[in-house]
Amino acid sequence: MAELAHPATGAARTHAGAKRPWIRRDMLVAALFVLPGLALAILFKLVPLVRTVWLSLQETRGFEDPAFAGLANYRTMLDDPAVHDSFRNALIAFATLPVWIILPLVLAFLLFQKTPGWKFFRAAFFLPYMIAPIVVGIMFRQILAPDGPLNALLRTIGLAPLAIEWLNGPTSALLSLTAVALWSFFGLGVLTYLSGLSTVSEEVVEAAKLDGAGFWRLLFHIIMPLLKPVIGYWAVLCTSGILIWMFPLIYALTKGGPGTATVLPEFLVFTTTFQFLDRGLGAAIGMALFVFVALVSAFVVRRMYVEGAKPK
């Protein structure tokens, strides 16, 4: 005589079996949403990265057929003074990161407090980000010229000693380039911070004001702790902007000059690959830049998220 299943056990198995098609359907739907993004990431991120690694191990001179060279390109890169100068310039530019983080936050907080004219300035601050970087570079090349409007204004108001050749000095050229990049990019930061400030309760700010907190105390002791995730996100975005998004500005403003004063690694990759036709060495410099940006970004993330999240 066949054994009869326990009624409760049989019902549970039937219920679990009824759930399985729905689970499979949910997994299929999730896969349909994930797979296109995964395919694009593999096609446009992972595959070029692997090809770059392989190319960096090749000797490619001009239009000759490439030949395997092992780590020769990396040894050449380590001995090249231009590479050393480019990464030194990158570190100097990266040292301005606090300005990139704090300036948009101050402006966003002023807008959040509805300072007179805040609606006009909200649009005006974002306008530079909407201008193509190459156009920004051409525009500021005229503004910062020795006989340009900026120097003319300085001479008019009695500050003639400050009317220097902004784009031709070994120090002023890199600082001018970074300042132009900040002008072009900070509007996105203002918008990002405003999005974060929209989640801050106005009652918290008003209570702090009643306790006698001024603007800077509000900013550093109330707003910044509440916006730490937003600040961390913006810091990582600025790190990428400083290190790998400045090529159009360099090309339009200085073309790396004077000498190597404004050559950043991304621009050196371009000149090595397309002007000197050494694709292998260019790929090696590109890989070094990839590792450099990854390490710097990891440092920023650790400082902004991990250490910032530790209890005081």
Q: What is the pLDDT of residue 309?
A: 53
SS3 279: helix
Each residue's pLDDT tens digit, 27-71: 888 888 889 888 998 998 899 999 999 999 998 877 777 888 989
Question: What is residue 307's predicted lDDT score, i.e. its pLDDT?
Answer: 56
- 263, 83 contact by CB (below 8 A): no
Q: Which two tokens stand for residue 75?
A: 């040894």
Q: What six digits make up the tokens of 79? A: 């001995």
Contacts of 262 (CB under 8 A, 6+ apart): 89, 173, 174, 177, 250, 253, 254, 256
Identify the weakest region by mean pLDDT among 21-35, 125-139, 255-269: 21-35
Q: Residue 2: what pLDDT? A: 46
Type of residue found at 68? F
Beta bridge partners of 68: 58
CA nearest neighbour of 248 among 142, 130, 133:
133
Angstrom distance (rounded) from CA 238 to CA 189: 9
Beta strand 67-68 pairing with 58-59: antiparallel
294: which 2 tokens? 């990854």
| pLDDT tens per residue across span 130-168 | 999 999 999 999 999 999 999 999 999 999 988 999 999
14 to each of 25, 32, 139, 282, 311, how far by Cα in Å? 18, 28, 72, 63, 49
From CA 288, how far away is CA 74, in angstroms rounded? 9
